Chain A
Amino acid sequence: MGIEIRGVNKNFGDFVALQDIDLSIPSGQLTALLGPSGGGKSTLLRIIAGLESSDSGTIEIEGLDATGLPAQKRNVGFVFQHYAAFKHMTVEKNVAFGLEIRKKPKAEVKKRVAELLKLVHLEQFSHRLPSQLSGGQRQRMALARALAIEPSVLLLDEPFGALDAKVRKELREWLRRLHDEVHVTTVFVTHDQEEALEVSDSLVVINEGRIEQIGTPDDLYDRPASEFVLSFLGPVTRLGDKLIRPHDIDITRYEHAATASGRITRWTRVGFEIRLEVTPDDVLHPDPVQVILTRTEATALQLHEGDMVWLRPRAGAEAALAR
């Protein structure tokens, strides 16, 4: 059940957008499709919605073969990056649109719309036009509109991509809570790894038209299947022969059995975080190593730019990938 994708291929002219995609997305979960721009994740989402057709392969939604079905008959809710609001209709009318198309009785439509507007905290805006709303409010309206038709799956294409950082963070938390309430199978596309890690139950990393890895956020972060996944999910640096996350490096001013040693050649402070670059005195690995530690840690260690330091992986650092 959920969504079953089998052998999907899609080309745009010579450009291979998707290559042999096999994927099952379980019912009731919040799944993120994560990957760099142009990697094919939006195309996959649009194929699931029926807004784009695949060159080959099949799509099953909740046990029904949807491969040949037009978007109108798939009963999916779709939320676009740029809201796609019906500009000439009030918020209320926007949300009611799908229900009116289905010729539901007026009283029922009214009741359902009121419920949904309450769910997305837009009750007091029901008679406004979309142009009178902020970006975050518009996206919530779009979400209510998509949920109105009681879709079997909810698809969101970079839903928070057009919003500013603070609103994005708020909406992200809010989407998570909403999903815990509504429990509809949800797939959302994002290129923001933090967003994906924070919100989703499971993650699908897509790059250059292929699936790189599928798993829970913890799986992917701790046990990345490839260098690509490792580097896409967060910052990485090379310490000796291994790739490691910069905050998983132990740094001291005293000589001990270390993987590398060298001088601190760069010091950047960003809020509570201190980002260092240590240039190793190892001729085999001369590239600077990135180290991230907190301000308090740096103070406790009495570190300063230009100091000689010794580096080694911290105990419990699993995200190391041999090369």
Chain B
Amino acid sequence: MTVDTPLAPGAARKRRARSTTSLTRSSGLGLGIALTWFSLLVLIPLSLVVIQSIDGGWQTFRETLTNPQTAAALRLTVTQALIVTAINVVMGTVIAWVLVRDSFPGKRLLEVVIDIPFALPTIVAGLVLLSLYGPDSPLGVNVANTERSVFLALLFVTLPFVVRTVQPVLMELDRDVEEAAASLGASRFTTLRRIILPSLAPAITAGAALSFARGISEYGSLVLLSGNLPLKTEVASVRILTYIENGNEAAAASVATILLLVALAAIVLLQILSKWVARRG
């Protein structure tokens, strides 16, 4: 039989280098269009927000952040979004698993229902939550004007993210691989931990990032139920609106910048975590 020789490292590097430096005309055009589009829609508006926040000098920025009401709103938003994302990671994966691996009556229906929080206008979601868990709750559960209302609203609107990112990856996953692990002596749990989860990690991460980003920016679904009580149930997005209404645009931009940084940090952290899980498997 032939003995395979690995590519000389120099050769591999040379090829890679060439492919990044020389673009064909069509791929150059594609890259140009993509970058222009991205700049117009994302980069320029985002940089404007950041510029605006420090327009009034660091003074405004610092004052806004040390304002107890704003600090409380930011803290509440970030902690609730974190808790909700953690729950989504577990529940979303479980739901995706059930949808892919099990067959049961009503599966199709559940598939559709999962997307409802996605499709529903958020204010409608807010209305639903208010009538279900508000002062006139038919269930006798009244969480209006408490922190739990924020939690509940976020849980409701972020439900589909992890489910929808994990589901396709789980469908693609080879059953052979699990059988191979079993025949090598791995228990169900070991197979899950060392084979399945590392393969799902990138998808879970993507879902978690979406869920977290949605969580810290949510407005419509929670304003009705939470009551927006300062220092208690007021979230960052409501805070931004208040600043705008009071004509303090620099302060609004400051809060926005903080949210932006938090989201960015979360995405980077999740990426690192996902890499780590995938490698450890």
Same complex origin of A and B = yes
B245 at the interface (CB under 8 A from A): no
A149 touches B184 (CB 8 A): yes
Partner of A101, one of B6, B174, B185: B185
B72 at the interface (CB under 8 A from A): no
In the complex, what residue of chain A is closest to B177 when comparing beta carbons? Answer: A84
Partner of A71, one of B182, B278, B279: B182
B185 touches A88 (CB 8 A): no
Contact with B along A265-295 (1 / 0, CB 8 A): 0000000000000000000000000000000
Partner of A84, one of B2, B5, B179: B179
Chain A residues lying within 8 Å of B5, measured Cβ to Cβ, are 124
B3 at the interface (CB under 8 A from A): yes
Chain A residues lying within 8 Å of B194, measured Cβ to Cβ, are 97
A86 touches B4 (CB 8 A): no
A110 to B65, CA, bound (A): 55
In the complex, what residue of chain A is closest to B6 when comparing beta carbons? Answer: A124
Contact with B along A68-86 (1 / 0, CB 8 A): 0011111111101011111
Given A71-B179, A174-B1, A86–B281 Cβ distance below 8 Å?
yes
B39 at the interface (CB under 8 A from A): no
A142 to B182, CA, bound (A): 14
Residues 167-203 (chain A) with a chain B CB within 8 angstroms: 170-171, 173-174
Chain B, interface residues (CB within 8 Å), range: 20 to 34
Chain A residues lying within 8 Å of B176, measured Cβ to Cβ, are 80, 82-84
Contact with A along B249-281 (1 / 0, CB 8 A): 000000000000000000000000000001101
A85 to B185, CA, bound (A): 15
Q: Chain A nearest CB: distance from B190 CB in Å?
A: 6
Most buried by A among B6, B176, B177, B194: B176
Chain B residues lying within 8 Å of A221, measured Cβ to Cβ, are none
A170 touches B184 (CB 8 A): no
A173 to B1, CA, bound (A): 8
A101 touches B186 (CB 8 A): yes
Contact with A along B159-195 (1 / 0, CB 8 A): 0000000000000001011011111111100100011
Given A86-B281, A88-B199, A121–B186 Cβ distance below 8 Å?
no
A86 touches B182 (CB 8 A): no
B126 at the interface (CB under 8 A from A): no
Given A86-B281, A89-B281, A149–B179 Cβ distance below 8 Å?
no
Q: Chain B nearest CB: distance from A149 CB in Å?
A: 6
Residues 130-162 (chain A) with a chain B CB within 8 angstroms: 134, 137, 142, 145-146, 148-149
Q: Chain A nearest CB: distance from B181 CB in Å?
A: 7
Chain A, interface residues (CB within 8 Å), range: 35 or more
A25 at the interface (CB under 8 A from B): no
A300 to B183, CA, bound (A): 57
Partner of B183, one of A71, A86, A88, A134: A71
A86 touches B177 (CB 8 A): yes
A49 at the interface (CB under 8 A from B): yes
Q: Chain B nearest CB: distance from A131 CB in Å?
A: 13
Chain A residues lying within 8 Å of B4, measured Cβ to Cβ, are 121, 124-125, 134, 137
Chain A residues lying within 8 Å of B187, measured Cβ to Cβ, are 72
Chain B residues lying within 8 Å of A76, measured Cβ to Cβ, are 183
Partner of A86, one of B6, B190, B195: B195
Residues 3-54 (chain A) with a chain B CB within 8 angstroms: 49-51
B215 at the interface (CB under 8 A from A): no
B179 touches A51 (CB 8 A): yes
Chain A residues lying within 8 Å of B174, measured Cβ to Cβ, are 82, 84
Partner of B180, one of A50, A74, A78, A102: A78
In the complex, what residue of chain B is closest to A169 when comparing beta carbons? Answer: B1
In the complex, what residue of chain B is closest to A73 when comparing beta carbons? Answer: B185
A76 to B182, CA, bound (A): 10
Contact with A along B1-27 (1 / 0, CB 8 A): 111111000000000000000000000
A323 at the interface (CB under 8 A from B): no
In the complex, what residue of chain B is closest to A166 when comparing beta carbons? Answer: B2
Most buried by B among A87, A88, A174: A88
Given A80-B176, A84-B176, A149–B185 Cβ distance below 8 Å?
yes
A121 touches B1 (CB 8 A): yes
B1 touches A170 (CB 8 A): yes
A101 touches B184 (CB 8 A): yes
Chain B residues lying within 8 Å of A87, measured Cβ to Cβ, are 177, 199
Chain A residues lying within 8 Å of B182, measured Cβ to Cβ, are 51, 70-72
In the complex, what residue of chain A is closest to B277 when comparing beta carbons? Answer: A88
A181 to B179, CA, bound (A): 27
A98 at the interface (CB under 8 A from B): yes
B198 at the interface (CB under 8 A from A): yes
Offer 10 A-B interface pairs, CB within 8 angstroms, sorted by A: A71-B182, A72-B182, A74-B183, A82-B174, A86-B281, A87-B177, A87-B199, A146-B183, A146-B184, A149-B185
Nearest 3 CB-CB pairings of A with B: A98-B184, A84-B176, A84-B180
Inter-chain pairs besides A87-B177, A125-B6, A174-B1, 6 sampled, C-beta below 8 Å:
A71-B182, A84-B174, A97-B184, A101-B186, A121-B1, A145-B180
